[in-house]
Amino acid sequence: MVKFNRFTLDNGLRVIVHEDNTTPMAVLNILYDVGARDENPEQTGFAHLFEHLMFGGSVNIPSYDEPLQRVGGENNAFTSNDITNYYITLPSANIETAFWLESDRMLSLAFSEKSLEVQRNVVIEEFKQRYLNQPYGDVWLKLRPLVYKQHSYRWATIGKTIKHIEDARIEDVKAFFKKHYTPQNAIMVVGGDVKLEQVKQLAEKWFAPIPAGEKYLRNLPQEPEQHEERRETVTAKVPLNDVYIAFQMGARLDDDFYAVELLSDVLSRGNSSRLYRSLVQDRQIFSEVHAYITSSLDKGMFVLEGKPLENISIEQAEAALWDELEKVKSEEIPADELTKVQNKTESTMVFAEMSLLDKAMNLASFELLGDAEMLNQETSKYLEVTTGQIKEVANKIFRRDNSSTLVYLAEKTESALA
Amino acid sequence: MIDRKLAPDFKAIDNINLIRPEYKKLDNGCNVYCFNSGDQELVRIEWVFNNLRFDPAKPLLNMAVNTMLTEGTSTLTAAQIADKIDFYGAFLQVDYAYENSQVTLYSLNKHLPHTLPVVLDILTDSVFPEKELETFKRNQQQKLQVSLQKNDVVARRDFNKAIYGNTIYGLGATFDNYKSLQRDDLLAHFKQMYQPSNCTLIIAGKIEPDTLTLIKDTFDKSWTNGSIPANVSQPDIQPAKELFYFTEKPDALQSAIRIGLPVINRNHPDFQPLQVLNTVLGGYFGSRLMANIREDKGYTYGIGSGLGSFKQGGSFFIATEVGADVCKAAINEIEKEVNLLKTELVPNEELSLVRNFMLGSLLGSLENVFSHADKFKSIYFAGLDYDYYDRYALTVKNITSAKLKELANTYFNFDQFYKVIVGKY
């Protein structure tokens, strides 16, 4: 149970306060309701590049990191297809520094050309390090456009191509800031060794003077239902073959989300899960195999991935994955197996309460979904799922004409022996 | 109107309160340390064992035995072990490190009567079934094939081999190492290593009297020592003579760089001062290496430096992945930054920032009762006491720029650094 209070400033900024006096630290987390899905198809990777620029100095404060480190604080941020999230942890005695820094960059950035030029290079190196210079690193660059044809989830947060990042101009940066970085589009969570009244007063002082800006109304083309089997095979400089099968699934707020997530746990959570036990241990088809969902705010992906052993053909590997999918489609899973994944989810929620930062981020995410209080109702939603519902969602999702299969074939070169 | 150009007042960090454990010794020789705190009805229990002496002829035994502990006992299959643990929403992990291997159980208190017996079973009766061993060997070799395609992994392996030589710290596992694993060797290793006299039990969370009684009942009477005591001594480290290693990857978009040398460990009085120097150079986001090579030049997504401390020695290293075309330029900048520490005093402004950052980091690392137990582990296994942290805080608060310069001159001779590059140069 995560207790909290909340209030909204006149400019539309939503503020959530979670008092936790067991720590000498405080957290200030700001979620901006903007992600890669809000980008122009000709300027992809922009939300993420912008996240880097948020550290390049704001209108009144030339350096963001330096004053924070000076008061013993640390910060970081991440961008997803749906959101951009910034967080600070610092000794609670110095919480006002966090208000000062975050409010100034919500007010306005410095928009320095030098910062843009450097961060363009940094992001290009990030593109290379994480997506291009790694075996299988480009999987999301290939899989997303296979699964999505209309929706802006068809590109990854890093962007479609390095060219889009190279082309970013300072005018684009300014326009993006004006459109998305307003108090109305943000949710702030302050947690830890703080008091509600203190947070109210600091929020009024530092954030209330920021103009409300214009409300961004999202109107994205939604992805139509898939009715044909899709497939792509790439030959690449990778050491092993690799098979991905991705299915379209519902959105985060759909009623059957909880059943779908538990279905992915049944298939792949831990060493007692079906895919590991059947396909790694018993039948010896894969060296590793995984199933997971993307939990996207719009229509998401249910992904299966496995690296077949060297004596196994791609056809055998795919057939083995489908065997397991057919089982959950044709027979209800035993009640014990459902209880097992439910218990695991329940204890994971309890363990998550050990981390102040996790609590703050979760509160922000659920407030974005509609109500932070949903965090405290999550466990019961998982516990309500029935074996019948699991079978139902399996049949809904695991259809051949809802699948996108991506195969990596290892290019035969001399292997790099150590 | 508020003045937004003016930073709010701030306070320096004075007190850092560490929770110290309660100590008990079981009749079978196992040491038990308890950290009782927290509101959630759960515990983390760690069984930590010293690794056996490194055998160059059978280098993977410590790792393989630890990793395979959950693969079956004479009464439970791997699947049954996983089922029992998962059913109660618990988490059972095995972790192998250079000096210690451990088993960790995260469990809600109410389920301990069901989860603890599984741990007892794997600690006393693991059998390393032949079929699971073959699966392990094959899957590890497949994973190794993937890892060896990653430049940063190859650079780390080459670097460790150079500075730690033929020891557990320098080992980069080969395909043959995996192929030669034998079940009998694993069993013998297991019997000698996983016994109570070689175990430290660390419990953190909400520890009720019942919890403790249950743990004692389970892990005292039913767990006895074998006839051969664990040999946990380790061979000395012999660093390589060659300082420069370049592995060419013609298609690389980025080059992985790893630069550094063997240095003192945590037990030496210069270690904590050196931690401050390391932080200035590459130990935080605003460090000199990040400021220059990422934030000014844009050569990399990230660069950092660090200190490693082991029983047998320590190391200092700088690691990054940079655009293949700017590899030489990046190394020149690294050299410049290292040499600057030797010739110029760190300005007061910068040093005071680093002081506050390091103290804030220490405070922030104490998130919950598990973190307090982690702090204990760092000193306990290095043979140090809690005054280590008091000295750390004092060092960070009081160290001078002159002392930092002196340290740089003592420890940082760039020409003597080992340099590993994987990619293009």
B250 touches chain A (CB under 8 A): no
| pLDDT score of A178 | 95
Which of B71, B104, B142 has the most A C-beta neighbours within 10 Å, making it the best mutation to test the interface with A? B142
What is the phi/psi pair of residue B107, to 5°?
-150, 145
Instruction: State whether residue B337 is helix, strand or coil.
Output: helix
| pLDDT score of B1 | 82
Q: Which amino acid is it at A204?
A: E
Q: Closest CB to B151: pick one of A119, A133, A237.
A: A133
Q: Tens digits of per-residue pLDDT, B314-344?
A: 999 999 999 999 999 999 999 999 999 999 9
Residue A21 sits at the vertex; the CA angle it makes with B91 and B43, to the nearest 5 degrees, is 20
Residue B309 CA, chain-centre distance (Å), reads: 9
Residue A414 has pLDDT above 60, yes or no: no
Distance, in Å, from the CA atom of B122 to the CA atom of B144, rounded to the nearest integer, reads 27
Residue of A nearest to B366 (CA): A23
Q: Which of residues 176-235 of B touch A (CB under 8 A)?
A: none
| pLDDT score of B367 | 84
Q: Once rounded to an integer, what is the mean pLDDT over residues A346-366? A: 94
Residue B138 has pLDDT above 50, yes or no: yes
Residue A323 CA, chain-centre distance (Å), reads: 30
Distance, in Å, from the CA atom of B255 to the CA atom of B99, rounded to the nearest integer, reads 30
| pLDDT score of A78 | 97
Inspect the interface and report whether the beta carbons of A269 and B11 lie closer than 8 Å: no
Q: Tens digits of per-residue pLDDT, A305-326?
A: 999 999 999 999 999 999 999 9
Inspect the interface and report whether the beta carbons of A65 and B42 lie closer than 8 Å: no
b/e per residue A45-71 (b: at least 16 CB within 10 A):
bbbbbbbbbbbbbbebbebbbbbbbbb
Residues of A in contact with B295 (CB under 8 A): 118, 122
Distance, in Å, from the CA atom of A78 to the CA atom of B251, rounded to the nearest integer, reads 30
| pLDDT score of B312 | 86
Q: What is the mean pLDDT of chain A?
A: 95
* Inter-residue contact A302 to A260 (CB < 8 Å): yes
Complex-level ipTM: 0.85
Query: Smallest Cα–Cα separation from B21: which of B365, B309, B392, B379?
Result: B379
Residues of A in contact with B366 (CB under 8 A): 23-24
Distance, in Å, from the CA atom of A62 to the CA atom of A49, rounded to the nearest integer, reads 19
Instruction: State whether residue B265 is helix, strand or coil.
Output: coil
Distance, in Å, from the CA atom of A154 to the CA atom of A148, rounded to the nearest integer, reads 5
Which of B285, B288, B294, B352 has the most A C-beta neighbours within 10 Å, making it the best mutation to test the interface with A? B285
> Which of the following CATH numbers is that of domain B244-423: 2.140.10.10, 3.30.830.10, 3.40.50.720, 3.30.420.270?
3.30.830.10
* Inter-residue contact A63 to A70 (CB < 8 Å): no
Residue A111 has pLDDT above 50, yes or no: yes
Residue A417 has pLDDT above 50, yes or no: no
Domain boundaries of chain B, sorted by first residue: 22-219, 244-423
Q: At what angle do helices B327-343 and B271-282 cross, to 10 degrees?
A: 130
pLDDT above 70: percentage of residues in chain B? 100
B371 touches chain A (CB under 8 A): no
Q: Tens digits of per-residue pLDDT, B159-218?
A: 999 999 999 999 999 999 999 999 999 999 999 999 999 999 999 999 999 999 999 999
Residue A22 has pLDDT above 90, yes or no: no
Q: Rounded to whole angstroms, what are the CA distances from A253 to A184, A258, A300, A304, B278?
A: 21, 9, 11, 22, 47
CATH number of B22-219: 3.30.830.10
* Inter-residue contact B70 to B220 (CB < 8 Å): no
If pLDDT is split at 50, 70 and 90, which confidence band does B16 have?
confident
Inspect the interface and report whether the beta carbons of B253 and A132 lie closer than 8 Å: yes
Q: How far is A82 from chain B, CA to nearest CA, in Å?
A: 23
Query: Which range (A287-296, B35-44, B84-93) has the least confidence?
Result: B35-44
Query: Across the beta sheet with B31-36, what order do the strands follow?
Result: B22-25, B31-36, B199-205, B42-50, B100-108, B91-96
Q: Once rounded to an integer, what is the mean pLDDT over residues B1-13? A: 92
If pLDDT is split at 50, 70 and 90, which confidence band does B221 have?
confident
Inspect the interface and report whether the beta carbons of B142 and A309 lie closer than 8 Å: yes
First CA to last CA across chain B, in angstroms?
55
Residues of A in contact with B8 (CB under 8 A): 94, 96-97, 99-100
B7 touches chain A (CB under 8 A): yes
Residue B210 CA, chain-centre distance (Å), reads: 33
Q: How far is A136 from chain B, CA to nearest CA, in Å?
A: 9
Residue B106 has pLDDT above 70, yes or no: yes
Instruction: State whether residue B422 is helix, strand or coil.
Output: strand
The two tokens of residue A335 are 């009640």
| pLDDT score of A413 | 58
b/e per residue B279-309 (b: at least 16 CB within 10 A):
bbbbbbbbbbbbbbbbbebbbbbbbbbebbb
B135 touches chain A (CB under 8 A): yes
Residue of A nearest to B143 (CA): A287
Q: How far is B181 from chain A, CA to nearest CA, in Å?
A: 17
Task: Say whether B244-423 and B22-219 share the same fold.
Answer: yes
